[in-house]
């Protein structure tokens, strides 16, 4: 009897180069956008698949994993894996892969652009022009703040935090950071970065507070009403990490009541929903989770996830899969 070709479920369309690579080895089904954001849809679909390539928005819960009779690997199209019940996967002998290191440069660029958009009021000024209100140069029009000499406080000095810090240094900013542990003296020296032992102290002394930390039980609602009150009234919050790190209701209140001066947000607490008060908040740039959205990065993410699937289903040794958890 001929050996069956393994089946791979890709929950949403990804770059065609990645799909072509998978189709060289397997039978591949690609879901429609948003089709598998519902747990029940995944439970009903996953039964006979050998591998799952999923998005951060797909809930890979205990029920989903237990419904997968043939599943050998879940590969996340993301650097994190907080959407996957990793412990259940381990118990069931299902490998889990993510895509570390791939997003660093794209996210560093994006964070700098997001900060510029907030501090220089790009979106507000463009809308003003498009609505036909521009009648000439105005000495008091859309005044923002300069970055040189300001302090960027980074929460989470991993690869993306460091990439943002390098770019901010080029703009003349001072770097402070809070991390679970200090980075090496070499990294601190290269960034002229100062370690701050508590998030509260960092918030008090930062002109810009950037969130670059993973979502854990400890970081859930790390930015809340109390922390926002500690921030200077002229300060800016940047979040390209995970939505639930920020209490969106508290952030909207802080912006509307001028407790802080602005925010740039790319990820949301109940994504894709955005808190209705945040949608109306002043000087708040809201973007639809696009920090890694470059052709080069998205293809690289897909290829790393796809190669993990090929390696596992082909029975290669785990050491050949650097992104395997």
- Above pLDDT 70, what percent of the chain? 97
* From 159, 242, 275, 298, the catalytic residue: 242
- Is a pLDDT exceeding 90 seen at residue 1? no
pTM, whole model, 2 decimals?
A: 0.89
**Residue 39 designated active-site:** no
* pLDDT tens digits, 122-140: 999 999 999 999 999 999 9
With respect to residue 1, please indicate whether it lies within any of the assigned structural domains: no
* From 124, 225, 271, 299, the catalytic residue: 271
* pLDDT tens digits, 162-221: 999 999 999 999 999 999 999 999 999 999 999 999 999 999 999 999 999 999 999 999
With respect to residue 82, please indicate whether it lies within any of the assigned structural domains: yes
With respect to residue 325, please indicate whether it lies within any of the assigned structural domains: no
Do 140 and 263 fall within a single domain? yes
With respect to residue 77, please indicate whether it lies within any of the assigned structural domains: yes
* pLDDT tens digits, 262-299: 999 999 999 889 999 999 999 999 999 999 999 999 99
- Above pLDDT 90, what percent of the chain? 90
* From 25, 220, 289, 299, the catalytic residue: 289
Residues 6+ apart with CB under 8 A from 278: 248, 251, 252, 255, 265, 284, 286
Do 108 and 182 fall within a single domain? yes
Do 96 and 207 fall within a single domain? no
Do 122 and 164 fall within a single domain? yes
* pLDDT tens digits, 221-260: 999 999 999 999 999 999 999 999 999 999 999 999 999 9
* pLDDT tens digits, 139-178: 999 999 999 999 999 999 999 999 999 999 999 999 999 9
Do 92 and 163 fall within a single domain? no
With respect to residue 2, please indicate whether it lies within any of the assigned structural domains: no
Higher pLDDT, 88 or 318: 88
Do 56 and 152 fall within a single domain? no
Do 277 and 186 fall within a single domain? yes
Domain count, the chain: 2
**Residue 271 designated active-site:** yes
Do 65 and 121 fall within a single domain? no
Supply the range of the domain harboring residue 67.
7-100+295-320
What CATH number does the domain containing 122 carry? Answer: 3.40.50.720
Do 88 and 129 fall within a single domain? no
Residue 318 has what pLDDT?
59
* pLDDT tens digits, 68-122: 999 999 999 988 888 999 999 999 999 999 988 889 999 999 999 999 999 999 9
Do 120 and 229 fall within a single domain? yes
With respect to residue 121, please indicate whether it lies within any of the assigned structural domains: yes
């Amino acid at each position: 009897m001929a050996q069956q070709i393994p089946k791979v479920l890709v929950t949403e369309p990804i770059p065609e180069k990645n799909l072509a690579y998978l189709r060289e080895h397997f039978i591949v089904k690609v879901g429609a956008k948003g089709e598998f954001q519902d747990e029940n849809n995944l439970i009903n679909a996953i039964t006979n698949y050998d591998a799952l390539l999923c998005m951060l928005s797909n809930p890979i819960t205990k029920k989903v994993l237990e419904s997968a009779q043939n599943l050998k690997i879940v590969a996340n199209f993301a650097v994190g894996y907080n959407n996957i019940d990793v412990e259940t996967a381990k118990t069931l002998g299902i490998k889990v892969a993510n895509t570390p290191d791939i997003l660093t440069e794209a996210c560093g660029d994006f964070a700098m652009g997001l900060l510029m958009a907030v501090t220089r009021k790009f979106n507000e000024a463009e809308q003003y022009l498009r609505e036909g209100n521009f009648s000439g140069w105005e000495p008091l029009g859309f005044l923002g703040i300069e970055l040189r000499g300001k302090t960027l406080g980074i929460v989470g000095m991993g690869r993306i935090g460091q990439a943002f810090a390098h770019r901010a240094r080029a703009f003349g900013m001072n770097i402070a950071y809070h991390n679970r542990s200090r980075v090496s003296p070499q990294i601190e020296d290269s960034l002229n970065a100062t370690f701050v032992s508590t998030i509260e102290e960092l918030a008090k002394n930062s002109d810009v507070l950037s969130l670059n930390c993973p979502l854990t039980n400890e970081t859930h609602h790390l930015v809340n009403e109390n922390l926002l009150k500690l921030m200077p009234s002229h300060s800016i919050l940047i979040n390209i990490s995970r939505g639930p790190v920020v209490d969106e209701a508290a952030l909207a209140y802080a912006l509307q009541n001028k407790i802080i001066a602005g925010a740039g947000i790319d990820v949301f607490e109940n994504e894709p929903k955005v808190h209705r008060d945040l949608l109306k908040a002043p000087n708040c740039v809201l973007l639809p989770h696009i920090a890694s959205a470059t052709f080069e990065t998205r293809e690289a993410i897909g290829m790393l996830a796809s190669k993990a699937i090929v390696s596992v289903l082909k029975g290669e040794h785990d050491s050949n899969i650097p992104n395997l958890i």
